[in-house]
């Protein structure tokens, strides 16, 4: 069971889910976005493997069990208002079911007009 102090901090969707961003821990690459329910988060926090809730299949999804493309958990952080998780992982092979490393490589760039005068981010 998910630790009560963590469970109390989650702000879940009507479906009982929190969005999870998976990031390669060393390169910083954002690999994919998925969802976790309490059980998925508990397994992610305790087993060393990233586990999600598959909304399409309606079941827990331990990433890589079918594909071999596992995610070893490095750290998990909750955001300020409790409705998003950042899961730093070590991704084996591609994260995306398309075979691309990142799901955002697969979907691709939308051609934004870049903001000028960025000013160094300070």
User: CB-based burial of residue 51 (10 Å sphere; 0-12 exposed, 13-18 middle, 19+ buried)?
Assistant: buried
The least CB distance from residue 101 to its own copies, in Å, is 10
CB 25 within 8 A of CB 74: yes
The least CB distance from residue 22 to its own copies, in Å, is 10
The C-alpha atoms of residue 77 and residue 92 are separated, in whole angstroms, by: 21
In the bound state with its own copies, the residue whose beta carbon lies nearer, of 35 and 59, is: 35
| Residue 91: CB atoms within 10 Å | 23
Please, which of residues 7-66 interact with its own copies by CB under 8 A? 9, 19, 21, 23-24, 26-30, 32-33, 44-49
List contacts with its own copies (CB under 8 A). Answer: 6, 9, 19, 21, 23-24, 26-30, 32-33, 44-49, 71-86, 89-93, 96-98, 100, 103-122
């Amino acid at each position: 069971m998910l630790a009560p102090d963590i469970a109390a901090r989650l702000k879940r969707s009507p479906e009982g889910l929190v969005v999870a961003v998976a990031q390669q821990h060393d390169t910083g690459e954002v690999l994919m976005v998925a969802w976790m329910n309490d059980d998925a988060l508990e397994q992610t926090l305790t087993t060393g493997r990233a586990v999600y809730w598959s909304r399409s299949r309606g079941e827990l999804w331990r990433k890589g069990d079918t594909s071999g493309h596992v995610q070893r958990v490095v750290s998990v952080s909750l955001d300020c208002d409790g409705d998003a998780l950042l899961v730093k992982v070590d991704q084996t092979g591609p994260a995306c079911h398309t075979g691309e490393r990142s799901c955002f490589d697969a979907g691709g760039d939308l051609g934004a007009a870049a903001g000028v005068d960025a000013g160094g981010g300070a």
